[in-house]
Amino acid sequence: MRDGFLLVLSGPSGVGKGTVCEALLDKRKDIKYSISATTRKKRPQEKNGENYYFLSLDEFKDKIDDGEFIEYAKVHGNYYGTPKSYVVDKIAEGDIVILEIDVQGALQVKENYPGAVYIFLLPPDMKELRSRIEKRATEDEETINLRMNNAKNELSFIDKYDYAVINDEIEKTVKKIECIIEAEKLKVTNIQGVKL
Amino acid sequence: MRDGFLLVLSGPSGVGKGTVCEALLDKRKDIKYSISATTRKKRPQEKNGENYYFLSLDEFKDKIDDGEFIEYAKVHGNYYGTPKSYVVDKIAEGDIVILEIDVQGALQVKENYPGAVYIFLLPPDMKELRSRIEKRATEDEETINLRMNNAKNELSFIDKYDYAVINDEIEKTVKKIECIIEAEKLKVTNIQGVKL
């Protein structure tokens, strides 16, 4: 059996990474979600070990020291990180592991995993992005402005990614990402031992 | 508007390049067929200017001298070539030009057009390939054996291609190639002037 691969789904805050990721996971059994660890506060609907592993600052720092993250970063004052073992195990089993992650994290992953597949999710336009961030309604005006400025800066890193997908309609976005997965599987460089 | 691209559909004789190519052209308006020129004899059902441009040896050699081919080759004793102007014009108009071509020709195209998308069509197995070549029933036993040996040799060039698609069922094959096209369109390197 051939190895799976790491699919990094990234883009600015508010672009819809979470929704797209959930829709992909609902649709396909061969995609596994890489659950991140974070020190940020749990939102009301979130569950520990499902949306995130919610860790204390000390717990998080211990894991950094032990090299247990494939990436970690401090964003908006909180730590976020990706535990290494799950990703490595699932890829070895032939699964596609999806990593839903901000741009800063994705760039860090790329330093260590250049062979992963990097998708940048784009908003249809910046007004739409602001509207989405505002609808989330868990942040104050200052935080919203900070996220908008971050988003503008993050867009400049798009050329570090393999693919860019405009997230205008969720069904279309999911189909596009499924095509990217299919095409990646068909790459000659990813095929081992074609039998004839 | 972004440029289109050249899609090179290649693989051993008898693998089903022609059938796959026709199915793709039937299904999608954004794919244009690059009609080759050849000095080989017209088969009963073929039409000049539709399947091929059928040229005399002298006509063909004049076009070689005038640099009017993006590739040409002598295969099984006949010349085959791809007229340049049509391909260049259609790509500039944003179309995908599909080039259905043997392996020798594809490798020659790659020298001049490394940015094209190269797909190697594989038979499910070599017995199936022989059966397909025999069913075509336009060649004698010696020619069939020659084509089988060529096919085995051609398979060794698969690593020069971007994608490998096993042609087991035509509908599946077409869907896979459509995914490759979609993914190629989403590549960051192929996106010009994303507007935000």
Copy the structure tokens of residue B120. Answer: 């190697």
Helix axes B141-154, B126-136, angle to 10 degrees: 140
Q: pLDDT class for A2, splitting at 50, 70, 90?
A: low
| pLDDT of A65 above 50 | yes
Contacts of B176 in chain A (CB under 8 A): 182, 186
Q: Which of residues 121-150 of B touch A (CB under 8 A)?
A: 122-123, 125-126
| pLDDT of A135 above 90 | no
| pLDDT of A137 above 70 | no
| pLDDT of B86 above 80 | yes
Q: A196–B155: do the CB atoms touch at under 8 Å? A: yes
Q: pLDDT class for B137, splitting at 50, 70, 90?
A: low
Query: Alpha-carbon distance A33 to A24, whole Å?
Result: 10
Q: pLDDT class for A73, splitting at 50, 70, 90?
A: confident
Portion of chain B with pLDDT greater than 90, in percent: 59
Query: Alpha-carbon distance A143 to A139, whole Å?
Result: 6
The answer to whether B182 faces chain A, any CB pair under 8 Å, is yes
Copy the structure tokens of residue A168. Answer: 């205008």
pLDDT higher at B1 or A40: A40
Copy the structure tokens of residue A43. Answer: 């939102």
Q: Which residues of B140-166 are buried (b: 16+ CB within 10 A; e: fewer)?
A: eeeebeebbebbeebbeebeebbbbbb
Contacts of A187 in chain B (CB under 8 A): 162-164
Which has the minimum average pLDDT: A49-58, A94-103, A187-196, B161-170?
Answer: A187-196
pLDDT computed for residue B105 by the predictor: 87
What average pLDDT does the segment A86-113 reach? 90
Answer yes or no: are the C-beta atoms of A83 and A67 closer than 8 Å: no
Name the helix (H) or strand (E) containing A104.
helix A103-112
Portion of chain B with pLDDT greater than 70, in percent: 94
Q: A163–B194: do the CB atoms touch at under 8 Å? A: no
| pLDDT of A157 above 80 | yes
Q: B158–A188: do the CB atoms touch at under 8 Å? A: yes
Paired residues of B6 in beta bridges = B97
* Complete DSSP assignment for B64-132: HHTT-EEEEEEETTEEEEEEHHHHHHHHHTTPEEEEEE-HHHHHHHHHH-TTSEEEEEE-S-HHHHHHH
Answer yes or no: are the C-beta atoms of A69 and A84 closer than 8 Å: yes
| pLDDT of A194 above 70 | no
Domains of chain B: 5-190 (3.40.50.300)
